[in-house]
């Protein structure tokens, strides 16, 4: 089983404003690839820098999503499914970026570790920081690579529960 945990950070309320993406690719229960990339969004309106500490100066010379896509697409293509913490957000951002840049949308299913944390582990408070703390998973919250890795580790725990 192979899956890709993803996490987007956005500059503002628009789904196309991704300014970072974190990826953690899992194969047979092991994280075999983890990385994070800064992305230059279509506009440089940054309203959420206070959350993720990414500023226009950090991304002004970074690739736009369409230029980054050839580097990250192989991980999307190899995955049996995707996972994200609050998957509806990350799915919406991914699809908006694909549409904006005329990239075919990946067709794999998304799983949500917020929902799974509540269902499988009966956690009432299922924010990424709370679930990570519950399982002693290291987390630098709102750093896309760290968030993706934490999400991957949560999904591994979910899968192990059913083995």
pLDDT at 163: 83
What is the SS3 assignment for 76-143?
Answer: HHHCCEEEECCHHHHHHHHHHHHHHCCCCCCCCCEEEHHHHHHHHHCCCCCCHHHHHHHCCCCCCCCC
pLDDT at 125: 95
Please report, rounded to a whole number, the percentage of residues in the chain having pLDDT higher than 90: 99
Q: How far is CA 47 from the centre of its chain?
A: 19
pTM, two decimal places: 0.97
pLDDT at 156: 98
- Using CA atoms, how far apart are residues 93 and 46, in angstroms rounded to an integer? 16
CA angle, 113 then 119 then 123, to 5°: 80
Residue 159 structure tokens: 């899968």
- Using CA atoms, how far apart are residues 142 and 87, in angstroms rounded to an integer? 15
């Amino acid at each position: 089983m192979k899956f890709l945990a993803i996490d987007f950070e956005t500059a503002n309320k628009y789904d196309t404003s991704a300014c970072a993406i974190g990826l953690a690719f899992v194969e047979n229960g092991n994280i075999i690839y983890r990385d994070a990339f800064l992305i230059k969004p279509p506009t440089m309106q940054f309203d959420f820098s206070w959350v993720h500490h990414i500023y226009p100066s950090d991304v002004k010379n970074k690739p736009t999503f369409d230029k980054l896509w050839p580097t990250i697409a192989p991980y999307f293509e190899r995955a049996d499914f995707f996972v994200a913490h609050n998957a509806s957000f990350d799915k919406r951002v991914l699809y908006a970026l694909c549409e904006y840049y005329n990239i075919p949308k990946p067709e794999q299913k998304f799983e949500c570790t917020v929902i799974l944390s509540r269902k499988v582990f009966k956690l009432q408070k299922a924010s990424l920081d709370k679930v990570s703390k519950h399982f002693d998973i290291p987390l630098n919250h709102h750093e896309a690579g760290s968030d993706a890795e934490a999400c991957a580790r949560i999904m591994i725990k979910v899968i192990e529960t059913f083995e």
